[in-house]
Amino acid sequence: MIIKKLITIDERYREIEQMLTLPELISNNKEYQKLIKEYKYLEPIVEKFREYKLTEKNISDSEEMMRDQTLEPELRELAEQEYKEHKTALIGITEQLRILLMPRDPNDSRNVIVEIRQGAGGEEAALFGADLYRMYTMYATKKGFKTEVANLNDTELGGIKEITFNVIGDGAYSKFKFESGVHRVQRIPVTESNGRIQTSTVTVAVLAEAEDVEVEVNPADLKFESCKSSGAGGQHINKTESAVRLTHKPTGIVIECDQERSQLQNKEKALKLLYTKLYDMKQRAQEEEIASTRKSQVGSGDRSEKIRTYNFPQSRVTDHRINKTVYSLDTFLDGDMDSIVDELIAADTAERLKGEQNDN
């Protein structure tokens, strides 16, 4: 069954390859981008399938040499050794194909909207919120993503009470989706004169960016108000009332956007944020309705859950969901997050694979 599926995928891959050369398709940007996305998704599967077929051929060739009595014993012995190596490789390739063929999170390829909010700890929590924002922007840059701030409420000392920003790029959600939750920091605050270590918290929410067509919004349910920036001020203060406050009456969702110079641009960003929040609410409601939905231990996205501790005295970062600790806090905060993010993805994949096996 898996081979038949892989053959079908290979055929579809070749078909798209041909379609992408057609001039009429290149001029249709929307359809072209859609096919490019599908092509990129199929590419690693096809490459691994071709590796599988080549390994099968190598096994067959080795078997043939082992049966050939005219060969020198040393050559037959070499063929036997290669046969064992190819058989071992085939097991690994088959497992990799199983993972590649798993149903993927439909949101994985989307852009994301990240919200960072000051938690317990006063100014120290706000300062750590700024550290997390810097960490995420540096990580996004390393991954080839672009970031855009929609709303910022900062403090006089450079901390962040609240910030909402977009991460734009194919696959952004797949890299950021495990960041939702409570992030705890343990360090001596710059405001602490007695040198005591303080524990503070910051909450992070990661939302898959929604398309306008995925949620229905009645214009009569929207209330737009102009306002001034809620930040601490300085050279970037919004001196005019170009900032926008959007209220969705049925849900009570309130969104502020203040980073663009024109009210129209802030209004557009506020609407995009509203669509995303409503899409997130819709998804969560669907998950709760389906009692049989299996929630991965690292993929629940519960924003009240303490997921990670950043301990400055010991220079360590601990992710509590996978019991993973790395002793490279400085580089982690500089955006080198793969040591933990990759293991979160691996743990989620293993959990879903186990779930599939239990279902079969």
281, HSE (Cβ side, Cα atoms, 13 Å): 12
In whole angstroms, what is the distance from residue 254 CA to residue 258 CA?
A: 13
Please check whether residue 310 is in contact with residue 328, taking contact to mean a CB–CB distance below 8 angstroms: no
Which amino acid does the sequence have at 271? L
Using alpha carbons only, how large is the chain's radius of gyration in Å? 26
Pick the most confident of 56-60, 65-69, 223-227, 232-236.
Answer: 56-60
The residue written with tokens 């080198």 in the block is: 336
> Which amino acid does the sequence have at 265?
Q
- Model pTM score: 0.71
Nearest by Cα to 91 from 63, 125, 124, 55: 55
Per-residue pLDDT of 96-116, as tens digits, reads 898 888 777 778 888 999 999
Return the amino acid letter for 308: R
Helical H runs in 290-337? 329-333
Contact between 251 and 281 (Cβ < 8 Å):
yes
> What's the pLDDT score for residue 300?
45
CA distances from 350 to 3, 44, 237, 323 (A): 22, 19, 47, 15
Residue 137 φ/ψ, nearest 5 degrees: -70, -35
pLDDT tens, residue by residue, 9-56: 999 999 999 998 888 887 777 788 888 888 988 999 999 999 999 999
H or E segment to which residue 324 belongs:
strand 324-326
- Predicted pLDDT of residue 355: 63
Q: Across all residues in the chain, what is the average pLDDT? A: 85
Are 157 and 168 within 8 A, CB to CB?
Answer: no
Contact 151, 164 (CB under 8 A): yes
